[in-house]
Amino acid sequence: MRILISCVLLLSLLPTGLGQSAEQASNGAAQQPANADELMAEVFARDTQREMIGQGYVGTRRYVFDNQRLHKHAEVTVSIRCDPDGTKHFEVVNEEGWKTANHRILRKMIESEAETSRPDVRPKTRLIPDNYNFALVQAELLDGRLAYAIEVTPKREDKYLFEGRIWVDARDYAVVRVEGKPAKNPSFWTRSIHFVHQYQKSGDFWYPATTESITQARIVGKTDVVIRYFDYTPNAKRQPEPSNNRKGSVQEAKYAFR
């Protein structure tokens, strides 16, 4: 079971904030970057602007675990609240399926993301030069929009970093796709891990859409973990909730990660 925990833990550390669009950026549409470092500096600047404008966000996620060899399936649905400083708070609103996976794998992912979102820890996991080397590969169309493909190489072997490629929207300078593998193999028993994390644009912001991973392990075989993201809204755009909350719309939370 520890093998599976290590294999899927990295997914909780992928970029999951709201990416700011060009319409909301103070400097308008930027010129084409000269190199990857310049491009990523603009990405970081836009992300900082997003945090200031959005004042955090709320949303919902559904984690789905499947292992064909073990014939096991599990699901956990959580609500997420992100503070203006990036700290994330999760509350489990529903779970079903294999309890062992729910409690020892999916909840561990949630706990890990909550921990690494703290302001004193988050800089060690972010897409910044302190953690990665960047190389601009090419410009290409991604879902009908021009994007820059960038090779990402971690500067150290760390279970919270990854090696692979990211795509940055050429107009909004928001990360719109992440694909790769962990910078450090979590276990001898792990043959391979591959993940894809995608975003979609709604209004003035880019929202996380899906995260999909496939892990091949020597004992338990193939494990799929899929995360789907719903109803992400910046706090700055939220409307006051009506007094007659629909208490029956979701099950009572089992517990919250504070």
Residue range 125-172, pLDDT digits in tens: 889 999 999 999 999 999 999 999 999 999 999 888 999 999 999 999
Closest CA to 94 of 251, 255, 237, 205: 251
Please state, for a pLDDT cut of 70, what percent of the chain lies above it. 78
| 59 within 8 A of 43, measured Cβ to Cβ | no
Within-domain flag for 126: yes
pLDDT at 26 over 80: no
d(CA 33, CA 84): 29
- Which of 157-161, 195-199, 212-216 reaches the highest mean pLDDT? 195-199
Q: Which of 2-16, 54-68, 210-224, 225-239 has the lowest mean pLDDT?
A: 2-16
Whether pLDDT at 96 is above 70: yes
Backbone angles phi, psi at 132, to 5 degrees: -140, 155
| 204 or 206, which is more confident | 206
Higher pLDDT: 206 or 50? It is 206
- 179 part of a folded domain: yes
CATH of the domain at 39: 2.50.20
Confidence band, pLDDT 50/70/90 cuts, at residue 47: confident
Q: Which residue has the higher pLDDT, 31 or 230?
A: 230
Number of H helices, E strands in the chain: 4, 12
How many structural domains are present in the chain? Answer: 1
Phi, psi of 251 (to 5 degrees): -70, 155
Q: Does the pLDDT of residue 245 top 90, yes or no?
A: no
In a domain, 91, yes or no: yes
Domain presence at residue 256: no
Task: Please give the pLDDT value at position 91.
Answer: 97
> pLDDT value at position 165?
97
Q: Looking at the domain assignment, is residue 80 inside a domain?
A: yes
Give the confidence band of 95 by pLDDT, cuts at 50, 70, 90.
very high
What is the structure's pLDDT at 148? 96
Whole-number pLDDT of residue 55: 86
pLDDT band at 189 (very low <50, low <70, confident <90, very high): low
- Distance from the Cα of residue 203 to its chain's centroid: 20
Kindly state the average pLDDT of the residues 103-123. 89
Give the range of the structural domain holding residue 179, as residue numbers without chain letter.
2-229
249 in a structural domain: no
> Which has the closest alpha carbon to 113: 4, 1, 8?
8
HEC profile of 141-181: EECCEEEEEEEEEECCCCCCCEEEEEEEECCCCCEEEEEEE
- Angle (CA) 110-114-119 rounded to 5° is 160
Mention every residue, 6+ apart, whose C-beta is less than 8 A from residue 112. Answer: 9, 12, 13
pLDDT of res. 254 = 35
On whether residue 255 sits in a domain, the answer given is: no
Which run of H or E residues covers position 6?
Answer: helix 2-9
Q: Is residue 216 part of a domain?
A: yes
Q: What is the pLDDT of residue 1?
A: 52
Cα distance between residue 188 and residue 228, in whole Å: 29
